[in-house]
Amino acid sequence: MTRLTALNPEEATGKTKDLFNAVQAKLGVVPNMMRTMGNSPAVLEGYLNLSGALSHGKIGAKTGELLALAISESNSCDYCLAAHTFIGEKLVKAAPEVLHAARTGNSADPKTAAILKFAKTLISKNGLVNDEDVNIVRNAGVSDAEIAETVGHVALNILTNYFNNTANTEVDFPAVQSLELQN
């Protein structure tokens, strides 16, 4: 059972209504996570702004989705695992085996693998990485801009993971279970 209410976009007012209208225009639907975030227009707007800004970064949409899966797996967020698996398959056209590997922080591409491993390191160390951690990712050919964006993606996905885990948001994408729960 959900812990926070997902608002009905047709009944929303004010800033929340404006944000829902923008999401509806872009996606054709207002997903449950955003409907639930709409309880606080500040949270929804913050999420949309950071997500939008990162979508224009150097990392690109595919790596962004792979990062979302790696981070969501680390935080056992079933909502985000489902959403980003769906987006990864349908929108960025990533193969299922690529998506699955990303959840464990792996990739056949060495640069992508370094980015995913760095994200997992950020999470496991609560952001307190050291020179060696940064040098490993930098030596894999990851630029300072891409390292900064990786930190941004970690922050964005921790926000959504923690939000959905707190709200127990109803999953409105095909279900995907955390690998930890599959064992």
Classify residue 9: in a domain, yes or no. Answer: no
* Alpha carbon distance 17, 33 (integer Å): 15
Residues 45 and 128 in one domain: no
Tell me: do 74 and 50 sit in the same domain. Answer: no
**Residues 168 and 93 grouped into a single domain:** yes
Residues 93 and 47 in one domain: no
Average pLDDT over all residues of the chain: 96
Is residue 183 in a domain?
Answer: no
Q: Are 48 and 18 members of one domain?
A: yes
Same domain, 83 and 18: no
Helix (H, G, I), strand (E, B) or coil at 75: coil
For range 149-157, the mean pLDDT:
98
Range of 164's domain?
A: 61-175
Considering the entire predicted model, what is its pTM? 0.95
Q: Is residue 134 part of a domain?
A: yes
- The answer to the question of residue 4 being in a domain is no
Total domain count, the chain: 2
As given in the structure block, the two tokens for residue 163 are: 């939000």
Q: What is the distance between the alpha carbons of residues 20 and 48, in angstroms, rounded to a whole number?
A: 11
Residues 141 and 167 in one domain: yes
The DSSP code sequence of 53-65 is HHTTSSS-HHHHH
> Is residue 163 a contact partner of residue 114, using CB atoms and an 8 Å limit?
no
55-95 pLDDT tens trace: 999 999 999 999 999 999 999 999 999 999 999 999 999 99
List own/partner pairs for 51-59 with CB under 8 A and 24 or more apart: 51/156, 53/152, 54/149, 54/152, 54/153, 54/156, 57/145, 57/146, 57/149, 57/152, 58/143, 58/145, 58/146, 58/149, 59/115, 59/146, 59/149, 59/150, 59/153
Given this model, what pLDDT does residue 11 score?
97
Domain of 112, CATH number, reads 1.20.1290.10
CB atoms closer than 10 angstroms to residue 138: 16
Q: At 181, is the pLDDT very low, low, confident or very high (cuts 50, 70, 90)?
A: low
User: Are 107 and 25 in a shared domain?
Assistant: no
Tell me the per-residue pLDDT of 137-149, one tens digit each, with 9 for 90 and over: 999 999 999 999 9
Work out whether the CA dihedral 41, 152, 166, 24 comes out positive or negative. Answer: positive
Say whether both 24 and 113 belong to one domain: no
Residue 158, domain member (yes or no): yes
Residues 6 or more apart from 68 whose CB is under 8 A from it? Answer: 80, 84, 153, 157
Task: Say yes or no: 38 and 84 in one domain.
Answer: no
Q: Is the same domain home to 113 and 152?
A: yes
